[in-house]
Amino acid sequence: MKLFLLFLFITFPIFAQVEYSQGVIPPGEYPGFYIDAANYKGETEGKTRVEVYFQIPYINLQFLKFQDKFQAKYSISLTIYDEDKNNIIVEKIWNDKIIANDFKETASDNNYKFGFKTFQLEPNNYILSCTLFDKDSEKDYKVEGKLEVRDFNKPLQFSDILFVASEIDSKIILNISNSISNSDSTLFFYYEIYSDKQQEVSVDYSITNENNNVILRSKYLLFVNAGVTQVKKKLNNSKITLGKHKISVAALGEKGETITGVSKPFISKIAGFPVSIINLDESIMQMAYIASGDEIDSILAANNADEKLIRFKAFWKKKDPSPSTEQNKVMREYFRRVAYANKNFKHYFDGWKTDMGMIYIMLGPPDNVDRHPFEYNSRPYEIWHYYNINRSFTFLDETGFGDYRLLDRNFGDWYRYRQ
């Protein structure tokens, strides 16, 4: 079975097409939290052990001074529904907190709270929904996606795959975001093998890109025990480029046929860069609202991919308010807006190229939105209000098919990228 990556999104008011700038962090490079799930062979007959993992970035929680330290308090509700979402199968709600020693610790991009919950479920298709609520900021973040629970009833089977960030004293720290740096040629992951007897198993590992081309393949002989064999595997020299990939693990028979196997998607990104940057040429073109045409042409004119990446990094380094840190907050916010525009404003072409996408990327979320989808004697229109620049923008859907166009195209002094 494929381990389904749960799609991340933030809760908004019903029917919202654009979020308001009222303290809500929209989806993008830094979601409210990461979540993943894995199937394991259960001890109860007819049940599969499902572990749901979550990873909460400190920077998305509100820390308040508590005695001589800093404290963030939050609650998590995790619900598993049937496939049609008509019935709740199981629900867990719990409170938790994080204690940080100083403010610097709370603001670090590298600090996370990890956790997991275990469920015993019958093999079937489900919907998993999880909400994180920050008690002090009163922000909430929601994750919802498909969850397939597998049946472990064959003589030889694999659990799902989990990526590993690091290993300390034989203990593994998971990579719940399912993204890796393209500068790291090692892919580190964990899975379990379930066998009804001691035997030698021929295991085939492969990595494919989004075009389904194999970029790495290797075979190993593993001696497995009767019962459970835990496997921690590193694939070296994988030469993974930017973009979407898939790791597959398969047990092969005597004739090379696949007996059983699992696969898992992941994204390769530039270290310290937003996850959405997976196609460098496309990302360079998307810089149209913050870079001049000459700057974009100069980057694209590089002799090779390595030089192009160097020029791309150099441009954003100049925009970085904190060049000594790995994360570039200006770049992160810019490409978060691009990702949001592509998701919400796409019509005949990509969302970042639309009028709504342009305004959203340039100015960020509006302070207020007036929507008029069903006005008498009027085509659908929206008005976005930006109080900080004392401007409003009206978008008219002339065709009635959601193709909103900006009415007043008088590009005054507002026409520049703003944080």
pLDDT digits (tens, 9 = 90+) for 253-267: 988 899 999 999 988
Binned at pLDDT 50, 70 and 90, residue 28 comes out as very low
pLDDT digits (tens, 9 = 90+) for 159-205: 999 999 888 888 888 888 888 876 666 889 999 999 999 999 999 99
Is the pLDDT at 419 greater than 80, yes or no?
no
Binned at pLDDT 50, 70 and 90, residue 322 comes out as confident
pLDDT digits (tens, 9 = 90+) for 118-158: 999 999 999 999 999 999 988 888 888 899 999 999 999 99
Phi, then psi, of 142 in degrees rounded to 5: -125, 140
pLDDT in the model for residue 374: 77
Q: Are 53 and 174 in contact (CB under 8 A)?
A: yes
Q: Are 192 and 225 in contact (CB under 8 A)?
A: no
Q: How far apart are CA 98 and CA 75, in angstroms?
A: 11
Beta-carbon contacts of residue 380 (< 8 Å; ≥ 6 apart): 372, 373, 374, 396, 397, 400, 404
Domain ranges (residues) in the chain = 1-153, 154-269, 280-406
Is the pLDDT at 48 greater than 60, yes or no?
yes
Q: How many helices (H) and strands (E) does the chain have?
A: 6, 23
pLDDT in the model for residue 125: 95
CATH code, residues 154-269: 2.60.40.3880
pLDDT in the model for residue 302: 92
CATH topology (fold) of 1-153: Immunoglobulin-like (2.60.40)
Beta-carbon contacts of residue 241 (< 8 Å; ≥ 6 apart): 182, 209, 215, 268
SS3 16: coil
